[in-house]
Amino acid sequence: MKSLLLSLACLSLLVAPSLAVAAADPPRPNVVLVFIDDMGYGDIAPFGNKQWKTPHLDKLAAEGMKFTSFYATPVCSMSRACLLTGCYNVRVSVPGVYFPNIQKGLHPDEVTLAEIVKPQGYATMCIGKWHLGHRDEFLPTSQGFDAYFGIPYSNDMTIDPKHARLAGDCVFREGLTADDARSKTARNRVPLMRGREVIEYPTDQSTLTKRYTEEAVKFIRSNKDKPFFLYLPHTMVHYPLAASEAFRGKSGGGLLGDAIEEIDWSMGQIMAAIREAGIDSKTLVIFTSDNGAAAGSSAPWRGKKGSIYEGGVREPCIMRWPGRIPAGTSCPQIAGNIDMLPTLAALVGTPLPEGRTLDGRDIRSLMFAADAAAVRDTHLYYTRAGQLGAIRQGDWKLVLTDDRPKPRKTAKNDKAPKAEKKDQSAKAAKSALPFGAALFNLAKDPGETTDVSAENGEVVARLKAEAQRRDQEIRQNRRPEGVAAPDADAKQKG
Ligand SMILES: [Ca+2]
């Protein structure tokens, strides 16, 4: 028996290397994933913007593929949960938005994009806005990232005075002190972190895009000889808008235009670093956004940030990988940030996490051929409040609940253009909703202006049943949200 086992072992030794080579064929590209905050579909030239200049993004699109049905979610945290886990946020119990007083986050047991690439020897870094929990156990360094530099949530929030871990050499600005950081909060004053420590408070938001870019370039240069995954979720263009000295007042489009032109510059810097490192052909670059426009434009779609209409969730998305992704092409098929995890898993050769359901699909076939058939024909639209707000199947979209954002109070230096006013189509379609559901044909009516549910009863019934079935499955199999350990003093009291 033992000798049989031995010979089997020898046989497997002989066979293993060739099998390993066959299975290990994945190209393992470097991955640079740039995730803009609150940038809408109509905010950059490759997707129709004519207001400001984005030469580097124009080039990225000319050298890569534009996805024109690429879905995120209506707001920040839920979108990041989708992107990093390959699941609808409801499945992983992440709400629309985490605030600094909420001691919860994406559960540490969830397998993130970083944890998918890590076993293949990838160096990983997150630079920018995290927004999946600011306590130690939820930060990027607890979710597979080797390093983190950025602000832990949105730039209009505050510090969490009780839990901010101030570095010994933390830089304090605007006349504030360590005591202030531990006792007071004020909106738009947010901590800049490295790893798990606050290194600057309040952070100088005008230089964030510039400093993120410098960190990104440094990371690319120092990891050019091994595979790397750079996740760059920018703080811009979320309110309050900011741009560095070199860009302020230059775009002719206000602070929003300035901030977008600076992001474009940032892409130029990153692409130059990739080229100079000689890794152009083995680097996949993905550029997209977390939700519809807040300050800018979601044209030509209906609605903006916060909405489950297309303008709230359909994002500009460009992917570039020379020699793999056909240049200058466009993909109209349904795809979205939930597809990134299964796709990257396949690209790097990591099996999908066992014993859990994912919602995304491997969309390599869409990336690698200009006229590929659909990978998934259905998409679910969850609202900020965690309700299933709509379902799309092929060209049909059934809106189940209206989820219009409340009008935002406009602060000084923070003026939002009155883009909602231009949204005439929204007004037209609103009337359809008291009936409980509105049906749109996105091919014939991309602006979601005309409810055609009355003349398509069968489609409504089919989509309603499908929506119910899928939503029920997700809720039945939902996994828990992460809850931070109680504070030490609370423990003592208890
Ligand atoms: Ca956002």
Mind listing the pLDDT tens digit for each residue in 377-398?
999 999 999 999 999 999 999 9
CA distances from 139 to 104, 135, 171, 280 (A): 11, 6, 21, 30
Q: How confident is the model at residue 401 (pLDDT cuts 50, 70, 90)?
A: confident
Residues 6+ apart with CB under 8 A from 423: 302, 303, 304, 311
Q: What is the pLDDT of residue 416?
A: 42
- Cβ distance 31 to 232 under 8 Å? no
Q: How confident is the model at residue 407 (pLDDT cuts 50, 70, 90)?
A: low
Q: What is the pLDDT of residue 488?
A: 72
Answer yes or no: is pLDDT of 67 > 60.
yes
Residue percentage of the chain with pLDDT more than 70: 87
Q: What is the pLDDT of residue 354?
A: 93
Q: What is the pLDDT of residue 257?
A: 98
Q: What is the pLDDT of residue 417?
A: 42
For the question of whether the overall pTM of this predicted structure is more than 0.95, the answer is no
Least confident of 16-25, 91-100, 307-316: 16-25
CA distances from 27 to 74, 106, 244, 347 (A): 33, 30, 38, 6
Answer yes or no: is pLDDT of 142 > 50.
yes
Strands 123-127 and 228-233 come out as parallel
Q: What is the pLDDT of residue 26?
A: 81
Opening angle at CA 130, ends 124 and 133, nearest 5: 115
Least confident of 251-265, 358-372, 393-407: 393-407
How many CB atoms neighbour CB 179 within 10 A?
10
Q: How confident is the model at residue 425 (pLDDT cuts 50, 70, 90)?
A: very low
Mean pLDDT of the region 222-249: 98
SS3 call for 81 = helix
Mean pLDDT of the region 433-441: 76
Residue 70 has which token pair?
A: 């690429």
Residues pairing with 397 in the sheet = 392, 440
CA distances from 67 to 293, 294, 363 (A): 17, 21, 11
Answer yes or no: is pLDDT of 422 > 90.
no
Catalytic (active site) residue 131: yes
Answer yes or no: is pLDDT of 415 > 90.
no
Domain boundaries, the chain: 26-379, 382-404+423-476
Mean pLDDT of the region 239-254: 97
Query: Of these residues, 76, 170, 317, 331, which one is catalytic?
Result: 76
Q: How confident is the model at residue 263 (pLDDT cuts 50, 70, 90)?
A: very high
How confident is the model over 462-478, as pLDDT tens digits? 999 999 999 999 999 99
Sign of the CA dihedral with 375 first, then 378, 379, and 380 last: negative
How remote is the CA of residue 103 from the centroid of ligand 1, in Å? 20
Query: Of these residues, 87, 107, 126, 131, which one is catalytic?
Result: 131
Q: How confident is the model at residue 487 (pLDDT cuts 50, 70, 90)?
A: confident
How remote is the CA of residue 236 from the centroid of ligand 1, in Å? 9
Mean pLDDT over the full length of the chain:
90
Answer yes or no: is pLDDT of 336 > 50.
yes
3-state secondary structure 24-64: CCCCCCEEEEEEECCCCHHHCHHHCCCCCCCHHHHHHHHCC
How confident is the model over 146-182, as pLDDT tens digits? 999 999 999 999 999 999 999 999 999 999 999 999 9
Answer yes or no: is pLDDT of 374 > 70.
yes
How confident is the model over 71-118, as pLDDT tens digits? 999 999 999 999 999 999 999 999 999 999 999 999 999 999 999 999
How remote is the CA of residue 421 from the centroid of ligand 1, in Å? 21
Answer yes or no: is pLDDT of 13 > 70.
no
Residue percentage of the chain with pLDDT more than 90: 85
Answer yes or no: is pLDDT of 17 > 70.
no
Fold exhibited by the domain 382-404+423-476? Arylsulfatase, C-terminal domain (3.30.1120)
What is the C-alpha separation between 217 and 147, in angstroms, rounded? 14
How remote is the CA of residue 89 from the centroid of ligand 1, in Å? 14
Between residues 24 and 381, which one has the greater pLDDT?
Answer: 381
How remote is the CA of residue 294 from the centroid of ligand 1, in Å? 8
Between residues 8 and 284, which one has the greater pLDDT?
Answer: 284
How remote is the CA of residue 152 from the centroid of ligand 1, in Å? 13
Q: What is the pLDDT of residue 491?
A: 47
DSSP state of 239: S
How remote is the CA of residue 482 from the centroid of ligand 1, in Å? 21
What is the C-alpha separation between 393 and 478, in angstroms, rounded? 23
Answer yes or no: is pLDDT of 11 > 80.
no
CATH (one of 3.40.50.620, 3.40.50.720, 3.40.720.10, 3.10.520.10) for 26-379: 3.40.720.10
Answer yes or no: is pLDDT of 445 > 70.
yes
How remote is the CA of residue 233 from the centroid of ligand 1, in Å? 10
